[in-house]
Amino acid sequence: MTFLDMLRQAEQTNGSMLCVGLDPDPARFPASLKGDAGRIFDFCARIVDATADLAMAFKPQIAYFAAHRAEEQLEKLMRHMRSAAPHVPVILDAKRGDIGSTAEQYAIEAFERYGADAVTLSPFMGFDSVAPYLQYHGKGAFLLCRTSNPGGDDLQNQRLSSVPGEPLLYEHVARLAQGPWNLNGQLGLVVGATYPAEIERVRALAPTLPLLIPGVGAQGGDALATVKAGWRPEGQIIVNSSRAILYASAGDDFADAARREAIKTRDTLRAARAA
């Protein structure tokens, strides 16, 4: 199946729009694992097992593994997710943004080494930074569009020129992703939950693209506003929560607590869609 097929299946099977972000920080692990970077796989695998029937997607953030020399644990985790939750697609959060042969190597890393179903990319260098990933038919690529950090205004919320009516940069990215760049129907967009009005604007410009929406939970994004702004029958949203789920408890019950938090978030998102 293609990435989009997997998304649809996971949404239907698990009744979910929730993406569980896997950002393992050993300093925040429960006492029995705390500070031990060699236990990153153990921690993440417990989270995956606890949420496999609740998630629309999993999103490991590669920096949290690479910073602790845990790339082999990430490979092991990818295999575990394939076994424990084969119906749930995996988005590798890497935010790569290079071109040419370097981009080709990053694509190999994402799709061949780690076996991800999709990857996050920065489109700042133009279509050259996206094209190598589109050679992997059936895989997905999410372009940073309107991110949740305040500094996103520095570039994303600027007009392309002083001519009246010119689009903002994030609007231009949305139009490119919906249109000429989306050669094989593989693209999606990253839009932060902290800007619901701009989620709605992106959805208007890109009505059929899947939107990966971080920022719900610890970052303060409002679930109801997010769903109202971004979800459409023809356009999926994948709403990410990381820290609120991963660190729902500092005790040995962390996996059970993560499950309870994931259920709460999933049900909140589902109720928002029905409202």
Catalytic residues: 95
Instruction: Give, as one character, the DSSP assignment of residue 167.
Output: P
CB–CB of 202/177 below 8 Å? Answer: no
For 24-41, give one letter per residue: b (16+ CB within 10 A) or e. Answer: bebebbbeebeeebebbb
CB–CB of 56/238 below 8 Å? Answer: yes
CB–CB of 20/262 below 8 Å? Answer: yes
Length of the chain: 275
Spatial distance between the Cα atoms of 227 and 216, rounded to a whole number of angstroms: 11
12 sits in the region (left: phi over 0; alpha: psi -120 to 50; else beta) called alpha
Residues 6+ positions from 89 with CB-CB distance below 8 Å: 3, 6, 7, 10, 57, 58, 117, 118, 140
